[in-house]
Amino acid sequence: MGKKRVVAKTKEELLKEREKIEAAVKKDVQVKAPQKVKEGRIYIFSSYNNTILTLTDKEGNVLYWTSAGRIGFKGTKKGTPFAASRVAEAMSQVIHKLKIKRIEIFVKGIGSGRDSAIRSLAARDLEIIAIKDITPIPHNGCRPKKPRRV
């Protein structure tokens, strides 16, 4: 089959990729403030393939949403904890623009981005009221198939 080659990215390529992601974050953060909202809710949905953050007010009206794919990650990189932390940073910038002080966090899903997204949000100047896990858990499951008669 021949020798396998590992292609290592140079510093210039890594810097270009980082600038591209940061530019997408800055472009993504242009939000128009609705009413004056003091408290908000953040819903973190983390799957194996992506991490989606949604910012709502107390009534559940969506103010802003973003995901790893929207920021610029592609393929399997969208499901990584690094991508989730970047998404949380973008969300925190929007929260600061909207001047929201207190937030509640609701986490749903089983992906690897759950913890890193929460940690990134906690590292910012946000007063976190509560963190709640709303992942659905089956209690008894589906009805099993009837036994096969041969």
What is the token pair recorded at 88? 């949380």
- Tens of pLDDT along 40-66? 999 999 999 999 999 999 999 999 999
Asked if 32 and 98 count as a contact pair (C-beta separation under 8 A), the reply is no
For 38-133, CATH number out of 3.10.580.10, 3.30.420.80, 3.20.20.70, 3.40.50.300 equals 3.30.420.80
Residue matched to tokens 């590292």: 123
pLDDT number for residue 82: 94
Asked if 114 and 85 count as a contact pair (C-beta separation under 8 A), the reply is no
* pTM for the full predicted model: 0.75
Under DSSP, the state recorded for 32 is -
pLDDT number for residue 25: 67
Distance in angstroms (rounded) separating the CA atoms of residues 68 and 46: 10
Q: In the predicted model, what is the mean pLDDT of residues 75-91?
A: 94
Mean pLDDT of the chain: 88
| Percentage of the residues of the chain whose pLDDT score is greater than 90 | 64
